[in-house]
Every structure is written in structure tokens, then in C-alpha cells.
Amino acid sequence: MLAAERHAVLLDRLARDGKIIAKEIALELGLSDDSVRRDLRELAAAGLCQRVYGGALPVSPALVQYADRARVQPASKDRVAARAAQLILPGSTVILDGGTTTLAVVAALPADLACTVITHSPTIAAALVPNDRVEVFLLGGRLFKHSAVTCGAAAVEAAQAVSADLFLLGVTGVHGTHGLTTGDVEEAAMKRALAGRAADTYVLASLEKIGVASPYRVLPLAEIAGIVTDAPDDDPTVLGLRDAGVSILQAQG
């Protein structure tokens, strides 16, 4: 079997099953484990899969540049944002992660809601300027332009000075086995720092983030209060998360 044919088979299996287990498919195709691992490395280098221990998972479409993310599942993000906005209570302090879903949360806030928002996203802070009853604290640090957020040592240090009732966390991948992931190691560290400053952390997971993975783990599933998603109740990832005891807040259309 030619390399292009093997790649086509692997991608077809990834689309069908949502994962590739290297040993199983090597045995099925009569290939060596090394051949399959080499093929997966090549597919990952081309951005067509996310390699994990023992195989591969679908790569997250949410890893694109910030300016392109608004075009990825916008209706799904609006549904998730509307449900997540209901978690923000009058008088509470909430940390908003960066990203297009949290930007949609800002748009979904009631006009008369009085609360305090802490964020490391200049985009989120700017969007809140017209909200007269929302106090805004912007955490400084090095601007990570890919996601339009601050991160790095200065941003993590600034995060240690705040406390909040709620953190709305954005990730690029939600998977029952590989957990909550994102595409940059420093951004993952910043998300962990922010989660450590909030009483409850809820993950915002629009459709494109369910069942996929990115390179860097953010938090174990046991450390979150729940996941807000509009993925169907019978989605395999959602079913697996529920079986694992994760609270799922369903966002309705």
C-alpha cells in the first residue's frame, strides 16, 4: 500500500471513529507499528490530526488565528454564550477568558447586569466599555497575538492578585480521555492560573471543540464545575463525560 493510500485510510478511519489506535489499525492493515506512527507524524505535521499516546485524534478547528475564529460555528458559540451568561449573577465577580465564545458571552449579558469582570483579553475589555454597570479589570502581560490575550510570567503574576466567583474558560479541545486542551503552552499555563483564582470553572465548548484535541493540557476534568455545550445529548464525547461524572449544561438553540 502506497503512503498516500495509507494516509487516506487513516483519515477515513479518523473521520468515522473519531480516533485512531495505532496498534489496532497496524494489525488490521498488516503494517508495522513504526509505519503507522510515521504516517501519523506526517499527517500531524500537515495539520490533519492530533497525535496522542497510542494513536491520534481529530485536530481542533479552533486553533486558527483569532481573526478567523469568528467564522467557525458562530451559531453554536452564540448558543453556548447565552447559556453561560446565565451563570453570571448580579454583584458577582467573573473571570472571562479570551476568545470568540467569551466575546459572545459579553454580547449576551443583560443590559442592566451589575457585576465585575476580570479578563486578560483586551478584546473582551474593549467590548465591555459600553456596559456602564460592569466594572472591568484588565490583566497585563505579554500579548499573545494568536489568541489576543496576555500571558507569560507577568500575566500569571497579575492573576495571583485577583479572586472571583466564576471563571468561564475557553479551550480548543474537549475529550473524555485527553481532557481539556489548547494550542499553546503559555496560554495553557495562564488558563490554569485563572482557574486557580475562581470558586467555580465552567468550560465553554461549542460544537467544533467536542471530541477533538490540541497539544497542551489545561485542566483535569475533575477540577471543573461543568461544561457548557450545545453538542447533542447522544454525542459520544458528551455521553462519556457524563459517565465520568462531569456536569453538562445543555445550551439550547
Evaluate the CA torsion angle 241, 85, 165, 143 in order and state its sign. positive
Question: Looking at the structure, do residues 70 and 53 belong to the same domain, yes or no?
Answer: no
Question: Looking at the structure, do residues 8 and 105 belong to the same domain, yes or no?
Answer: no
Q: CA dist 71 to 60, 65, 100, 107, 173, Å? A: 14, 11, 10, 16, 17
How far is residue 51's CA from residue 20's CA, in Å, rounded to a whole number?
A: 9
Structurally, the chain folds into a number of domains equal to 2
Which CATH number characterizes residue 71's domain? 3.40.50.1360
Residue that is last in its domain, among 34, 59, 84 = 59
Evaluate the CA torsion angle 183, 102, 212, 238 in order and state its sign. positive
The pLDDT of residue 121 is above 80: yes
Phi/psi region, residue 118 (left: phi>0; alpha: psi -120 to 50; beta: rest), is beta
Would you mind telling me the total number of residues written for the chain in this entry?
253
In sequence order, the 6+-apart residues with CB closer than 8 A to the CB of 71 are: none
How far is residue 206's CA from residue 71's CA, in Å, rounded to a whole number?
A: 13
Question: Looking at the structure, do residues 127 and 240 belong to the same domain, yes or no?
Answer: yes
Question: Looking at the structure, do residues 110 and 233 belong to the same domain, yes or no?
Answer: yes
Cell, residue 21 = 489506535
Segment 21-35 shows an average pLDDT of 87
Higher pLDDT, 62 or 39: 39
How much is the pLDDT for 68? 57
> Across the beta sheet with 55-57, what order do the strands follow?
20-21, 55-57, 50-52
Which CATH number characterizes residue 28's domain? 1.10.10.10
Residue that is last in its domain, among 59, 75, 102 = 59
Pairing of strands 226-229, 248-250: parallel
Question: Looking at the structure, do residues 105 and 220 belong to the same domain, yes or no?
Answer: yes
Question: Looking at the structure, do residues 39 and 143 belong to the same domain, yes or no?
Answer: no
Question: Looking at the structure, do residues 72 and 128 belong to the same domain, yes or no?
Answer: yes
Confidence of residue 136 (pLDDT cuts 50, 70, 90): very high
- Write out the residue range of the structural domain in which residue 117 sits: 66-250
Question: Looking at the structure, do residues 29 and 123 belong to the same domain, yes or no?
Answer: no
Question: Looking at the structure, do residues 35 and 76 belong to the same domain, yes or no?
Answer: no
Confidence of residue 168 (pLDDT cuts 50, 70, 90): very high
Question: Looking at the structure, do residues 49 and 120 belong to the same domain, yes or no?
Answer: no
Question: Looking at the structure, do residues 48 and 74 belong to the same domain, yes or no?
Answer: no
Summarize pLDDT for 66-82 with one digit per residue, the tens.
555 566 677 999 999 99
The pTM of the full predicted model, rounded to 2 decimals, is 0.83
In sequence order, the 6+-apart residues with CB closer than 8 A to the CB of 164 are: 92, 93, 94, 95, 118, 197, 198, 199
How far is residue 51's CA from residue 99's CA, in Å, rounded to a whole number?
A: 24
Question: Looking at the structure, do residues 10 and 97 belong to the same domain, yes or no?
Answer: no
Q: Which amino acid is at 191?
A: K
How far is residue 20's CA from residue 107's CA, in Å, rounded to a whole number?
A: 39
Residue that is last in its domain, among 30, 59, 88 = 59
